[in-house]
């Protein structure tokens, strides 16, 4: 009896001593769209028990921040979630880029993907007016009173050494936060970027991937900041994970009937899958979110000094990796090159991340 009691005490102590991973504190900095890709990444992180989503900041890229703010709030409402959303910077850092974009496009060429995001339309400016027009309803949530740049600064200062920034849009908010408050850089736990393409052509131009092409000057400021850890999820890995009709159908089955499923069916991807069962696409930001939730999904990486070309020419926005020595000012980053795709899809289709409160 004494022996059994002793063994019970030992095993109890061992069980107590097993470390429990604390929830990862995350800020999603995003050029938000409906559903795939940014919207699903946001909701995945918001629902994941491994993550405490501190907030969402919107930036110009796929959408204008006014549009992105409305999209973020709508998707959170449909999910029964109340997460701070702070509207951010509405222009890339290079002066005149928006006004002169048509000329730039003629000069620098077009890649395999002709998508240029917000640069092909005017900024609606007012998130609430855009929300009411888009959804024919009044919002039930409102944005955070702070500007996105200030939100990032305040969250990092309030949670030193604990915040992961998921930079899944252009880096304009992050770059301006660095310039305004350089003291936050050593306080950030890590930055996980969706951006760049180091071993294959770009998508939006032959030289550049969309996020870092949209604001190369901001991307350069960010990747050259002395963060303790930088992880890059670029086209190198994202274009190895195709999104096909069977996965689309499986996601709808997990979500069930409701607003999110209706939103997915109504957007570009949903319409494309419905009209062409052989249609295939990629996902970028969702991979970034999944890696934050479960870093063990990553199966291959390489670590190099990285940099961005900001010369306004044919290579504008080109991402560079240096196996030996990078230019002065460049910093090392971990470039993800492979993930466990089967486990990734299992995570995305795990009902634990899509609770029944989804409307």
Give the per-residue pLDDT at 163: 98
Give the per-residue pLDDT at 354: 82
Alpha helix (H) ranges present in the chain?
2-17, 38-47, 65-78, 101-108, 127-135, 148-158, 172-180, 210-214, 216-224, 235-238, 245-255, 259-266, 268-275, 285-293, 341-348
Contact 34, 73 (CB under 8 A): no
Distance CA 322, CA 303 (A): 9
Pairing of strands 242-243, 281-282: antiparallel
Contact 94, 105 (CB under 8 A): no
Distance CA 129, CA 255 (A): 29
Q: Please report the sign of the dihedral spanned by the C-alpha atoms of residue 71, residue 77, residue 83, residue 85.
A: positive
Contact 135, 266 (CB under 8 A): no
Contact 348, 297 (CB under 8 A): no
Give the per-residue pLDDT at 355: 65
Contact 155, 163 (CB under 8 A): yes
In order along its 359 residues, the chain shows pLDDT tens digits of 555 444 444 445 444 544 556 889 999 999 999 999 999 999 999 999 999 999 999 999 999 999 999 999 999 999 999 999 999 999 999 999 999 999 999 999 898 888 999 999 999 999 999 999 999 999 999 999 999 999 999 999 999 999 999 999 999 999 999 999 999 999 999 999 999 999 999 999 999 999 999 999 999 999 999 999 999 999 999 999 999 999 999 999 999 888 999 999 999 999 999 999 999 999 999 999 999 999 999 999 999 999 999 999 999 999 999 998 999 999 999 999 999 999 999 999 998 888 655 55
Tokens standing for 202?
């770009």
Contact 118, 59 (CB under 8 A): no
Find all residues with CB under 8 Å of 328, minimum gap 6, and list them.
Answer: none
Q: In DSSP terms, which residues pair with 57 in a beta bridge?
A: 29, 86
Neighbours of 116 (CB within 10 A): 17
Place of tokens 């995305």: 348
Name the nearest CA neighbour of 279 among 250, 243, 253, 240.
Answer: 243
Name the nearest CA neighbour of 302 among 340, 326, 333, 324.
Answer: 333
CA atoms within 13 A on the CB side of 221: 19
Q: Please report the sign of the dihedral spanned by the C-alpha atoms of residue 224, residue 230, residue 38, residue 154.
A: negative
Composition of the chain by helix, strand, coil, percent to 5: 45, 15, 40
CA atoms within 13 A on the CB side of 134: 23
Distance CA 49, CA 52 (A): 8
Largest separation between any pair of C-alpha atoms in the chain: 85
Q: pTM of this prediction?
A: 0.92
Give the per-residue pLDDT at 351: 85
């Amino acid at each position: 009896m004494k022996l059994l009691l002793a063994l019970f005490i030992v095993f109890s102590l061992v069980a107590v001593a097993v470390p429990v991973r604390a929830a990862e504190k995350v800020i999603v900095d995003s050029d938000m769209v409906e559903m795939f890709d940014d919207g699903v990444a946001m909701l995945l992180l918001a629902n994941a028990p491994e993550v405490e989503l501190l907030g969402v900041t919107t930036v110009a890229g796929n959408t204008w921040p006014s549009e992105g703010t409305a999209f973020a709030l709508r998707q959170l409402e449909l999910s029964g979630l109340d997460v701070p959303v702070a509207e951010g910077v509405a222009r890339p850092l290079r002066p005149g880029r928006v006004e002169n974009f048509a000329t730039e496009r003629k000069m620098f060429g077009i890649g395999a993907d002709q998508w240029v995001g917000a640069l092909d339309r005017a900024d609606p400016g007012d998130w609430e007016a855009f929300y009411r027009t888009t959804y024919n309803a009044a919002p039930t949530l409102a944005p955070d009173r702070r500007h996105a740049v200030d939100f990032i600064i305040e969250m990092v200062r309030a949670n030193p050494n604990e915040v992961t920034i998921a930079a899944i849009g252009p880096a304009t908010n992050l770059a301006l936060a660095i310039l305004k408050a350089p003291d936050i850089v050593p306080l950030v736990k890590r930055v996980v970027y969706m951006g760049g393409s180091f071993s294959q052509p770009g998508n939006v131009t032959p030289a550049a991937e969309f996020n870092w092409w949209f604001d190369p000057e901001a991307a350069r400021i960010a990747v050259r900041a002395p963060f303790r850890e930088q992880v890059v999820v670029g086209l190198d890995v994202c274009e190895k994970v195709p999104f096909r009709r069977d996965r689309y159908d499986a996601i709808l089955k997990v979500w069930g009937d409701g607003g999110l499923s209706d939103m997915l069916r109504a957007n570009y991807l949903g319409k494309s899958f419905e009209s062409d069962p052989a249609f295939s696409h990629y996902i970028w930001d969702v991979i970034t979110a999944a890696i934050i939730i479960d870093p063990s999904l990553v199966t291959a990486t390489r670590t190099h000094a990285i940099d961005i070309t900001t010369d306004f020419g044919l290579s504008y926005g080109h991402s560079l990796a240096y196996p030996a020595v990078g230019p002065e000012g460049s910093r090392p980053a971990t470039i993800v090159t492979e993930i466990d795709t089967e486990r990734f899809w299992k995570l995305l289709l795990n009902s634990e991340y899509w609770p029944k409160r989804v409307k």
